[in-house]
Amino acid sequence: MENLLNNFDSLCFDKNLILIKNKIVSSERLNLSDAKNIMTTSDINSLGVLASAKKEEMHGKKVYFVVNRHINPTNVCSISCKFCAFGKPKGHKDAYEMSMDKILSLVSNELKEIHIVGGLHPDWEFEKYLEIIREVSKNAPDAHIKAFTAVEIDWFSRISGKKVSEVISSLIDAGVDALPGGGAEIFSPEVRKKICTPKTTGDSWLEVHREAHAQGLPSNATMLYGHLESIDDVIDHINKLRILQDDTNGFFAFIPVLFQPYNTRLKNIKPFPFSYDLKVHALARLYLDNFPYIKAYWITLGEKAAQVALHYGVSDADGTIMSEKIIHDAGAKSEIGHTRNFFVKMIKDAGYLPVERDALYNELNIYE
Ligand code: V47
């Protein structure tokens, strides 16, 4: 950290960032007004240096990635979020339901993480989702399963009449190793109402994760940004996550997810400048001092911007994914998957040390 920050004061032209640097050097926690200063600075380069210093204090030059696959068993969904181009009503010409054979054809022990999420199908019972987990677990016993967002868990509770705590313990028994961070969107009730009513509230999302952590099930957290939210909404979202993490210490990664408008009912939203993406990632690293990892979701950022984000506090480049659908239905320009070698090169070329991990962040291979 010292090295990166040695000449900071002479190069930085935003005095608020110098005050934030002093707090970081003395391990003082940032407050809401620091967060606002980060989101409104125009000294983007200095912000990147600060976020990198914090990231390197935590992980040195290491940047993690995983050989993983996304599986979306169905896109049939009982709700219709305005930001989503993936979910389809039952009977729609593009609606699909994967058979168990199809799902199992996608899994193998080569994968270190299998990420399973999908629509809230009006006819599927909770038992069917449990069966998917049991079968995937049986067919790929060495892979970790990261499955079902808090929104799906909330839905399983409604359709099964079980408490959220019972749903979570049944998922753990079936073979779920971690929860993905999806469905958090943005916690602000006003914005949530405009982009995804009548979905699980922000408070319910947080309560599902609190319960998962209480049962020893780790999870991630996302934030959908680049739509109708304000800077204050971003700060509020990140602050709520920091408060929960102080209580539970159950989160691994925070993942900013850049909104993709194509094919959605929010398609007229104008793109934000790239500086906004960089500020969101840097804010996450600097403010979420209790989150071990900040992830660059290359699917939404694009591969090139994700590589730049490694210099803005990011310590995790996600993974191979193999066949991304949710965000590509909304027009993402990235590839739908990449090879292990792609990540090794992308991370090395940015000046960092690629480390292959599993879903629980155990280190599997360091690419010196
Ligand atoms: O919550 C849907 C998002 C999320 C759009 O935990 C959209 O490791 C942008 O949860 N534009 C799911 N985003 C993605 C997700 C995730 C991804 C990577 C890693 C992890 C993890 C979790 O997809 C949803 C929603 O915010 N989404 N539509 C869209 N048009």
Give the per-residue pLDDT at 143.
96
Q: Please tell me if the CB atom of residue 266 comes closer than 6 angstroms to any atom of ligand 1.
A: no
Give the per-residue pLDDT at 2.
64
Q: Tell me: the pLDDT tens digits for 215-252?
A: 999 999 999 999 999 999 999 999 999 999 999 999 99
Contact present, 280 and 320 (Cβ < 8 Å) = no
Give the β-pairing of 293-294 and 251-258: parallel
Q: Tell me: the pLDDT tens digits for 175-205?
A: 999 999 999 999 999 999 999 977 799 999 9
| pTM attached to this predicted model | 0.98
Q: Please tell me if the CB atom of residue 83 comes closer than 6 angstroms to any atom of ligand 1.
A: yes
pLDDT along the chain (368 residues), means of 10: 88 97 96 98 98 98 98 97 97 98 96 98 98 98 97 98 98 98 97 88 98 98 98 98 98 98 95 97 98 98 98 98 96 97 98 97 97
Q: How far is it, in rounded angstroms, from Cα 112 to Cα 201?
A: 31
Q: Which residue segments constitute the domains of the chain, with CATH numbers given?
A: 59-366 (3.20.20.70)
Give the per-residue pLDDT at 197.
75
Q: How far is it, in rounded angstroms, from Cα 55 to Cα 285?
A: 7
- The closest residue, in CA terms, to atom 21 on ligand 1 is 180
Q: Is the peptide bond before 198 cis (omega within 30 degrees of 0)?
A: yes
Q: How far is it, in rounded angstroms, from Cα 127 to Cα 115?
A: 19
Q: How far is it, in rounded angstroms, from Cα 317 to Cα 294?
A: 9
Q: What is the DSSP string of 93-145?
A: TT--B--HHHHHHT--TT-SEEEE-----SS--HHHHHHHHHHHHHH-TTSEE
Could you identify the atom of ligand 1 that is nearest to the CA of residue 331?
Answer: 30
Which of 111, 224, 262, 336 to mutate to test ligand 1, by most ligand atoms within 8 A of the CB atom? 224
